[in-house]
Amino acid sequence: MVTGLRALTVGQLTAYLKAKLEEDPRLSQVLVTGEISNLTNHYKSGHLYFSLKDERAVLRAVMFSRNASRLRFSPEDGMKVLARGRVSLYEPSGQYQIYVEELQPDGVGALTLAFEQLKQRLQKEGLFDAARKRPLPPYPERVGVITSPTGAAVHDMVNILSRRWPLAKIVFAPVQVQGEAAAPQLAAAVRRMNERNAADVILIGRGGGSMEDLWAFNEEIVARAVAASRIPVISAVGHETDFTICDFAADLRAPTPSAAAELAVPDRAETAAALSYQRDRLSSLLRARLSAWTQRVDALTACRALRDPLSLTETRRTQLDGLRERLLRAQGGRTEAEKARLAALCGRLDALSPLSVLARGYAIASREGEVVSSAAALAPGEAFSLRFGDGSVRCRAEATETEAKGESGDGGK
């Protein structure tokens, strides 16, 4: 056992080491590069806990919410970063760690990475889909302009709108287009124009600048407000080569604010020329149609039926008389033919009539209204009637004689 040493508690030793680390000026501000691993985002507190590692060692790291809230990108496991902060010791676990104050991607700018991360995330949500894009009104009556009241962009847009389509009323919403307050103001202006139905089309944008200057138009709050707008939105941020998240969320991107104004409204001179052309074309079509109708009326007027309508009546009357005579002749011939046919049928019918047979000397025997067709049907003493051509006689059978197979004999007395 070593003698002469004073025993320290674990807490005392840890506190001593922490003090030594914090007293070292070289550890109060360090810049460390490494790969993020074991990232934990405490959403309630906003603190970030992670490790920085390389092929030789691992360093625990923490970034408190007041610093994490200023990050332009979302840290991820496997991302190589540069971390600036101070080194100290966390007494409850006895581990030394770096308290990160600033964090940025290593090899690519934080703004560029944040831009790509947000773009990919919103694109996966379908926020940039072409099916969501709304068509622009061809002749807007009210044009909403959301931009800075002091920049050159607002003057360019107002001048072009007034020159190209003075019939449209300009509804101006002045906002900041740079700085921390810019994004909330831009989003609020878009929502307010929709709530009040203040415009038929909205122009949102600003003039050129650095990526930092244009960053308000890359904020998620602006992109979602533009995408949710019922009023079509034209985004015009920076110069032709500048692209922002707002451009992708808008219904149409214009390369410059001036171009946005030109896309928003038709040109008065071009519209007047088009109307003049259509008016001349319509007049020409009407003249051609009127000329065709006039020629048709002239042709009808020259028709004999209109000049002398009685001549057409006489012609039709002559045709009618001829048809009537033909009908009468045909009717007479048909009647005579039918008369002859009827006479022939009557002759044939008369020849077949039983009365004609009786007129030649024959008689018909009947009993109680039924014809007696056989001598065997009458019994001796039975009464019956004989029908002659000129009358009938009541008789009584005294005897019957029948013939079989051409021979005759007594049938009974």
Q: What is the mean pLDDT of residues 320-329?
A: 88
pLDDT for res 14: 87
pLDDT for res 412: 41
Tell me: pLDDT of 313 over 90.
no
Kindly state whether residues 251 and 177 are assigned to the same domain.
Answer: yes
Percent of the chain clearing pLDDT 90 (strictly above): 46
Give me the number of domains the chain comprises. Answer: 4
Q: What is the pLDDT of residues 163-199, one digit of tens each?
A: 999 999 999 999 999 998 999 999 999 999 999 999 9
How far the first Cα of the chain sits from its last, in Å, is 179
Residue 262 lies in a domain: yes
Ramachandran region, residue 38 (left: φ > 0; alpha: ψ -120 to 50; beta: rest) = left
The closest alpha carbon to 305, from 316, 294, 296, 320, belongs to 316
Q: What letter does residue 362 receive in the DSSP assignment?
A: -
The closest alpha carbon to 248, from 127, 114, 345, 78, belongs to 127
Kindly state whether residues 221 and 308 are assigned to the same domain.
Answer: no
Last residue of a domain, one of 266, 281, 314: 266
For residue 401, the one-letter residue type is: E
Tell me: pLDDT of 256 over 80.
yes
Task: Give the C-alpha separation, 370 to 168, whole Å.
Answer: 113
Q: What is the mean pLDDT of residues 276-281?
A: 93
Residue 15 lies in a domain: yes
Angle at 208 between CA 216 and CA 157, to 5 degrees: 95
Mean pLDDT of the chain: 87
For residue 95, the one-letter residue type is: Q
The closest alpha carbon to 258, from 218, 214, 208, 211, belongs to 208
Residue 296 lies in a domain: no
Residue 310 lies in a domain: yes
Kindly state whether residues 322 and 368 are assigned to the same domain.
Answer: no
- Most confident of the following: 49-58, 186-195, 338-347: 186-195
Kindly state whether residues 92 and 16 are assigned to the same domain.
Answer: yes
Tell me: pLDDT of 389 over 80.
no
Residue 381 lies in a domain: yes
The better pLDDT of the pair 6, 269 is held by 269
Q: Can you state the percent helix, strand and coil of the chain, rounding each to 5?
A: 45, 25, 30
For residue 323, the one-letter residue type is: L
Kindly state whether residues 193 and 72 are assigned to the same domain.
Answer: no
Kindly state whether residues 69 and 161 are assigned to the same domain.
Answer: no
Contact 241, 253 (CB under 8 A): no
Last residue of a domain, one of 207, 238, 266: 266
Kindly state whether residues 134 and 189 are assigned to the same domain.
Answer: yes
- Provide the pairing of β-strand 201-206 with 233-237: parallel
Residue 68 lies in a domain: yes
Q: What is the mean pLDDT of residues 285-290?
A: 94
The better pLDDT of the pair 387, 191 is held by 191
Residue 248 lies in a domain: yes
- Provide the pairing of β-strand 142-147 with 169-174: parallel
pLDDT for res 1: 53
Kindly state whether residues 242 and 336 are assigned to the same domain.
Answer: no
Tell me: pLDDT of 315 over 90.
no
Q: What is the 3-state secondary structure (H, E, C) of 71-107?
A: CCCCCCCCCEEEEEEEEEEECCCCEEEEEEEEEEECC
Q: What is the pLDDT of residues 104-142, one digit of tens each?
A: 887 666 777 888 889 999 999 999 999 999 999 999 999
Tell me: pLDDT of 6 over 90.
no
Tell me: pLDDT of 339 over 90.
no
Residue 4 lies in a domain: no
The better pLDDT of the pair 322, 171 is held by 171
Residue 316 has a CB neighbour count (10 Å cut-off) of 10
Kindly state whether residues 320 and 363 are assigned to the same domain.
Answer: no
Kindly state whether residues 174 and 72 are assigned to the same domain.
Answer: no
Q: Which domain holds residue 308?
A: 303-352
Q: Which of 79-83, 328-332, 355-359, 408-412 is the least confident region?
A: 408-412
| Token representation of residue 68 | 């994490």
Q: Which of 1-5, 8-12, 169-173, 273-277 is the least confident region?
A: 1-5
Kindly state whether residues 38 and 60 are assigned to the same domain.
Answer: yes
Kindly state whether residues 132 and 215 are assigned to the same domain.
Answer: yes
pLDDT for res 111: 77
Q: What is the mean pLDDT of residues 79-93?
A: 89
CATH code (residue 185): 3.40.50.261
Residues written for the chain: 413
Tell me: pLDDT of 399 over 90.
no
pLDDT for res 331: 87
Main-chain phi, psi angles of 294, to 5 degrees: -65, -45
Q: What letter does residue 303 receive in the DSSP assignment?
A: S
